[in-house]
Amino acid sequence: MSYVVIARRWRPQQFEEVIGQEHVSRTLANAIANNRIAHAYIFSGPRGVGKTTTARILAKAVNCEKGPTPHPCNECASCKAITQGNSLDVVEIDGASNRGIDEIRNLREKIRFAPAMGKYRVYIIDEVHMLTKEAFNALLKTLEEPPEHVIFIFATTEIHRVPATILSRCQRFDFRRIAVRTIMEHLQHICQADKIEIEEEALLQIAKKADGSMRDAESILDQIISYAGSKISFEDVVQALGVIHQDFYFNLTEQIKNAAIKDIIISANTIFETGHDLNEFLLGFEEHLRNILVIKATGTTDLIDTSENYLERYKQLANEFSENDLVGYLQVVGETINAVKTSQQPQLKFELGLVKLAKMPKTAQIDELLKSIELLKKKAADNIGYQAQVVREPLPQSPALDLNFIKNNWQTLVQKIGKERASLAGILVKAKIESFDGKVLTLTCSEQGEIVKGQKDWLERFLKKELERTVRLHIKILKGTPKASAKKKQESKKEIMDKIVNASDSMRKLVDEFGLEIL
């Protein structure tokens, strides 16, 4: 008898044997037990997680001679035929090679025929997303109102490519990636049954390589057994699969931490010369950095999949890096993965990415630099406090603004007024200063004092500008000037007018040019 691979020998034959998909198995088993069997199902999820296997178990469950039952006997003619893949009532179609409208039309013609042995004709269409748009449209009416004896089961790894009109006519089940520990337990069970000795670290490497697929894990185990025989070590897995030893990632991390550019380039060349896939190496290094970040952020090792031998080393590395550093490293590795994929010189991009990791500024260095800057600022501030103070001479104090000051400087003020308003100055020159209390200046003027009152606002602004203080004016008008003093006042007026004219160049020029006389 020819050899049967592990993936086929250990294919589940009951719902409860499907590993990691309990939510699907329970729902389907209950539906059969309660006679709530739908006419169309669609199974979506990654490769190798049990979609087609579950479809076959469902076909056996509904066509078993003791059923429909959630526990097919696997002994009757119908169950055996389905298990061996030669049942006339279960038709498996590859959607990739039967994707046209003609194949779907042919299918529609065949579904009218009654089942040959069981109660249902079950059509399993794998990779259904590969059907053309026309083929999907041809299938719509059949899915809407299929014959009572027909059950459709669709399987796909790309559910987003299936039209919504198809999805709405099916019961959808999402299959999940299988956890690493779950895969390890199942592989250990297989090894015990086949009397294979295997190290736990080797199991872990196989489970991680499978990437959530039980079928891939079983196929890899089959390959390793062929390579190493009945006793499998971690080194056997490394050699057979060409994976990178975990120690290499730890050494590279130390080189990056120490910015050892020479050692990094040598390590990169080693990876290239040994023929390892650069993309696979970077993905493994990305997971390695992710493990360090998870421990750094959470403080626990429960969320990483690695052997006990490496947990302590991961804890030590987590204490030597900051979260910001690790996030930056992961971003650079991600960029390097994309660069290596698209570059015509992948080795150069690979080496450049690793060197860039070593050259990145560390958060600790930045923190120390900021502390140094703050310390320098503090010292500079302290030095400023001890600088000699500049002694400045006191500014001369302004003379007190009182009645005497006003009287002594009145003639000067009137001369300045005359430069702008000569007629007003002519009246003010005859005014008498009665009093000044620091705020209000009282003036006694002749009968022309009404003119002064009319220009009071302007005069107050003028005094504020000259005296640098607000001074209010109170104007008194003196009526009935005695004749005895008229001559004296006339002479005084003439003297003031002479001063006003002399103070103004334009006025002096006018008087001289026309031979005018000051009255």
Compute the distance between CA of residue 370 and CA of residue 376 in angstroms, rounded to an integer. Answer: 10
Give the number of other Cβ atoms within 10 Å of residue 171's Cβ.
16
Q: Same structural domain for residues 145 and 26?
A: yes
Q: Which two tokens stand for residue 359?
A: 């050259």
Residue 125 CB-half CA count within 13 A: 22
Tens digit of each residue's pLDDT (9 = 90 or more) over 98-124: 778 888 888 888 888 888 888 999 999
The pLDDT assigned to 483 comes to 44
Report yes or no on 147 lying in a domain.
Answer: yes
Q: Please report, to the nearest 10 degrees, the dihedral formed by the alpha carbons of residues 401, 407, 408, 413 taken in order.
A: 90
- Same domain, yes or no, for 61 and 122? yes
Q: Are residues 28 and 152 in the same domain?
A: yes
Query: 52-92: per-residue pLDDT in tens?
Result: 999 999 999 999 998 789 999 999 999 999 999 888 999 99
Tokens standing for 177?
């990636």
Specify the DSSP class assigned to residue 17.
G
Domain final position from 135, 154, 174: 174
φ, ψ of residue 280 to 5 degrees: the values are -65, -40
pLDDT of amino acid 484: 41
- Give me the residue label for tokens 């702008």: 420
- 229 and 255 inside one domain: no
Low-confidence ranges of the chain (pLDDT < 50): 388, 390-397, 481-487
257 and 203, same domain (yes or no):
no
Residues 6+ apart with CB under 8 A from 290: 330
Helix (H, G, I), strand (E, B) or coil at 416: helix
33 and 157 inside one domain = yes
- DSSP code of 517? -
Domain boundary among the residues 197, 226, 241 is at: 241
DSSP string for residues in 70-92: SS--S-SHHHHHHHHT--SSEEE
Q: Does 427 share its domain with 503?
A: yes
The tally of domains found in the chain comes to 4
**Domain of 216?**
180-241
- CA–CA dist 237, 206 (Å, integer): 8
Q: Are 282 and 235 within one domain? A: no
Average model confidence (pLDDT) across the chain: 85
Q: What CATH number is given to the structural domain containing 206?
A: 1.10.8.60
pLDDT of residue 459: 83
Do 140 and 160 reside in the same domain of the chain?
A: yes
**Distance of CA 381 to CAs 371, 374, 376, 386, 434, Å?**
15, 11, 9, 9, 59
Q: Which of 338, 364, 390 is the last residue of a domain?
A: 364
Same structural domain for residues 131 and 39? yes
pLDDT at 19: 94
User: Same domain for 162 and 280?
Assistant: no
Has residue 390 been placed in a domain? no
Query: Residue 407: its pLDDT value, please?
Result: 81
Measured distance CA(316)–CA(321) in Å, rounded: 9
Give the pLDDT of residue 463.
83
DSSP letter string over 223-268?
HHHHHHTTEE-HHHHHHHHTPPPHHHHHHHHHHHHTT-HHHHHHHH
The one-letter amino acid code at 13 reads Q
User: Per the domain annotation, does 386 fall within a domain?
Assistant: no
Q: What is the DSSP letter of 365?
A: H
Residue 28 lies in a domain: yes
Would 409 be classed as within a structural domain? yes
Burial group, residue 405, by CB count within 10 angstroms (0-12, 13-18, 19+): middle
Residue 71, in any domain of the structure: yes
Mark whether 119 and 207 lie in a shared domain: no
